[in-house]
Amino acid sequence: MNINNVSLTISAVRKNQYPQNFFPEIAFAGRSNVGKSSLINKMLNRKSLARVSSKPGKTATINFYNIDDKLNLVDLPGYGFARVSPQEKKKWAVMIDEYLNTRDKLKQVILLVDSRHKPTEDDKTMLNFIRHVCDRAVIIATKFDKLKKSEQETSIRTIISELSLSGDDVIIPFSTINGLGVEELWCFINEEIMQ
Ligand code: GTP
Ligand code: MG
């Protein structure tokens, strides 16, 4: 995809702050540190549009990116970060629930899972939320560059079976280091979301 102008429209914590444009929207969900912000940068070929950190809990707001006045990409705050108070967990849940259940132009929530680990209970819970608002599951297996060749197939199989993927569901291995999955994800977005 040929991209000219990308910008952060807003970092929102509640509905009345969401952008009022009518572009189709794709949101990225997943555990803290799984690579959501890095994936957005990689997809847009920008080094540090979305803030990335080796420490989990970097993205704490719902960040809306405008792609050429055609598409919104949304970086959701991560979950499963151990050092989080019950109040913060509650704030996260309210924010995510409000977003998922009220956003009309939301075409797909894409779930990122770490290809090196078995999906967590939190990942399964998140996928359940997603299944309530999306017809299919789209899963990104992140940090694929960290796997040995011999581990790659097992990783995909484990994700498929742990998350009970089937039918129309999609899984894409991804790496910000070697660009694996960038093309495939753009093809999916162009063919299945933008049509
Ligand atoms: P939160 O904002 O806390 O929810 O995290 P996030 O999901 O946005 O993760 P982020 O993009 O900040 O990345 C976390 C760490 O993983 C950073 O140190 C990234 O450099 C690293 N990382 C992300 N994607 C990849 C990848 O494909 N390969 C490798 N090797 N590292 C990656
Ligand atoms: Mg982030």
Residue 118 Cα to ligand 1 midpoint, Å, equals: 17
pLDDT at 89 over 80: yes
Residue 59's pLDDT is: 79
Kindly report the pTM of this predicted structure.
Answer: 0.96
pLDDT grade, residue 88 (50/70/90)? confident
Residue 78's pLDDT is: 93
Half-sphere exposure of residue 179, counting CA atoms within 13 Å on the CB side?
5
Does the beta carbon of 103 lie inside 6 Å of ligand 1? no
Average pLDDT over residues 159-172: 97
Q: Which residues are within 8 A (CB) of 74 and not within 5 positions of it... i.e. 6 or more apart?
A: 25, 26, 27, 28, 62, 63, 64, 65, 99
Q: Residue of the nearest CA to atom 28 in ligand 1?
A: 143
Mean pLDDT for the chain overall:
94
Average pLDDT over residues 62-81: 95
Residue 129's pLDDT is: 95
Average pLDDT over residues 82-94: 87
Alpha carbon distance 26, 176 (integer Å): 19
Ligand in closest contact with the CA of 96:
1
Residue 53's pLDDT is: 86
- Token duo for residue 171: 């899984």
Top pLDDT among 2 and 25 is at: 25
Q: What are phi and psi of 9, to 5 degrees?
A: -75, -50
Average pLDDT over residues 96-105: 94
